[in-house]
Amino acid sequence: MSNVAQYDVESIRNDFPILATEVHGKPLVYLDNAASSQHPVQVIHAIKDLYESGYSNIHRGVHQLSQDATKAYENSRAAIRGFINADCIHEIIFTSGTTESINLVAQSYARPLLKKGDEILITHMEHHSNIVPWQMICEQTGAELKVVPISDQGELEMDRFAELLSEKTKIVSVVHVSNALGTVNPIKEIIDAAHAKGIAVLVDGAQAVSHIPVDVQALGCDFYAFSGHKLYGSTGIGALYGKEKLLNKMPPYKGGGDMILSVSFEKTEYNTLPYKFEAGTPNIAGAIGLGTAIEYVQSIGLGAIAAHEHGLLEYATSKLKEIDGLRIIGQAEQKAGLISFVLDQVHPHDIGTLLDMEGVAIRTGHHCAQPVMERYKIPATARASFAMYNTFAEIDVLNEAIKKTIGMFS
């Protein structure tokens, strides 16, 4: 599929069994995709089939099942490589998700490199998982955390970024798409500016990979982190892309089985990439499911998905803007499919509870981005986030449910 006119949302919805369920007697309107997206049958079946007829531990057995499971696991790595256009499969490390990917880079790339006086540059719109690991590194090394501010609309202040990027900066870690604001950041520009000063860049792609085509070679980023469960796969699986030459120089992050070539009490020799970073038995079913999820996304086409979600975003934005007393938090020029909002008279948690009674699932709270809440002087927002299977009719249900909520409070 290459354009919106051909986009068959009903046929996509038929692939997601959960979308046919009801909540409080109302058809489910699932708009909490930024927290976790739903699974298509293809992924559910891949995991079920594995456990029914192909499951075993990987990378160790000579028996057939182990070899088949290993092949399926490694095929998923190859699918991820293709999906983000990494140069080679060794550059794809399976992790438990974005959080672990960022911690891996913080501990294994940054920690050995940093000393007192060095700086780590992040932004004010990061998820806690791209703040706290760096604060831990600062405590461990004496380095300092610097933060690029954001404007009232929710865009990075790029002139401040340019000022903060200095010879003291040793790594830049920036979110591709903000989970609290929806902002799509100009990461190519950020990467180019950092590279001009010889500084490595980690991109947190948790909210990007299911919405925007990502080409890590075209971007030139040094590291790219994402999670499977926001990409129609399961929880507990994700990936870290890293440039081979950097990963090769980095020490292992965790020690254990599978990450070694040989072990003796005198000397242990570490395994080659990517296994050096994959200690212990991994989430085999999750990895295989993620490979299937990626194939599913590719079968529809990220370009078509992005266009569909952009249509939903524009429609929802125009509808919600008409509601008296509703304020959208995050009005960047470039946005992905999510809307964070507050109502004058209703706390976000009450919005979430009342919308739930209408079958509408949204997320409320600080979205693990408390500095964003502090920036806009609000305790929390209500957030509707879209996926490939959402419809314009569902936006209408959201719109009516918000109006009903306001009516109950006025």
Indicate whether 34 belongs to the interface with ligand 7TS (CB under 6 A): yes
Q: Which is nearer to ligand 7TS, 55 or 226 (CB)?
A: 226
**Residue 242, phi-psi category: left (phi > 0), alpha (psi -120 to 50), beta (remainder):** beta
Q: How far is the CB of 298 from ligand 7TS (least distance, A)?
A: 21
221 labelled catalytic? no
| The residue to which tokens 């925007």 are assigned | 212
Considering only 37, 38, 99, 183, the residue that binds ligand 7TS (CB under 6 A) is 99
Q: Which stretch binds ligand 7TS (CB under 6 A): 4-12, 114-122, 199-207, 319-327?
A: 199-207
Q: Which stretch binds ligand 7TS (CB under 6 A): 191-199, 201-209, 320-328, 398-406?
A: 201-209
Backbone angles phi, psi at 363, to 5 degrees: -105, 140
* Residues 6+ positions from 275 with CB-CB distance below 8 Å: 59, 258, 259
Indicate whether 98 belongs to the interface with ligand 7TS (CB under 6 A): yes
Q: Which is nearer to ligand 7TS, 155 or 204 (CB)?
A: 204
Q: Which stretch binds ligand 7TS (CB under 6 A): 4-12, 61-69, 123-131, 267-275?
A: 123-131
Nearest to 78 by CA among 91, 65, 95, 67: 91
Nearest to 386 by CA among 295, 310, 318: 310
Q: How far is the CB of 19 from ligand 7TS (least distance, A)?
A: 19
Task: Tell me which DSSP letter residue 324 carries.
Answer: T
Contacts of ligand 7TS in 322-381 (CB under 6 A): 363, 367-368
Helices in 41-155 by DSSP H: which ranges?
A: 41-49, 64-84, 98-104, 111-113, 132-141
Backbone angles phi, psi at 352, to 5 degrees: -60, -40
In 3-state terms, what secondary structure has residue 35?
coil
Q: Which stretch binds ligand 7TS (CB under 6 A): 141-149, 158-166, 202-210, 315-323?
A: 202-210
Indicate whether 185 belongs to the interface with ligand 7TS (CB under 6 A): no
Q: How far is the CB of 200 from ligand 7TS (least distance, A)?
A: 18
Indicate whether 405 belongs to the interface with ligand 7TS (CB under 6 A): no
Q: How far is the CB of 35 from ligand 7TS (least distance, A)?
A: 4
Q: How far is the CB of 131 from ligand 7TS (least distance, A)?
A: 10
Task: Tell me which DSSP letter residue 364 carries.
Answer: E
CA angle (176 as vertex; 175, 177 as ends), nearest 5: 95
Indicate whether 35 belongs to the interface with ligand 7TS (CB under 6 A): yes
Indicate whether 38 belongs to the interface with ligand 7TS (CB under 6 A): no
Show the tokens assigned to 256: 């254990």
Considering only 15, 91, 155, 204, the residue that binds ligand 7TS (CB under 6 A) is 204
Task: Identify the active-site residue in 88, 138, 221, 368.
Answer: 368
Nearest to 356 by CA among 308, 299, 290, 404: 404
Nearest to 108 by CA among 236, 202, 218, 209: 202
| The residue to which tokens 């932004």 are assigned | 123
CA distances (Å), origin 126, targets 99, 204, 342: 12, 9, 20
Considering only 76, 207, 292, 390, the residue that binds ligand 7TS (CB under 6 A) is 207
d(CA 359, CA 364): 15
d(CA 73, CA 86): 17
Nearest to 390 by CA among 130, 7, 80: 7
Q: Which stretch binds ligand 7TS (CB under 6 A): 126-134, 311-319, 372-380, 402-410?
A: 126-134
Residue number of the CB atom closest to ligand 7TS: 179
Indicate whether 209 belongs to the interface with ligand 7TS (CB under 6 A): no
Q: Which is nearer to ligand 7TS, 38 or 99 (CB)?
A: 99
- Residues marked active site are found at 368
Binding residues (CB under 6 A) for ligand 7TS: these are 34-35, 97-99, 127, 129-130, 175, 179, 204, 206-207, 227, 229, 363, 367-368
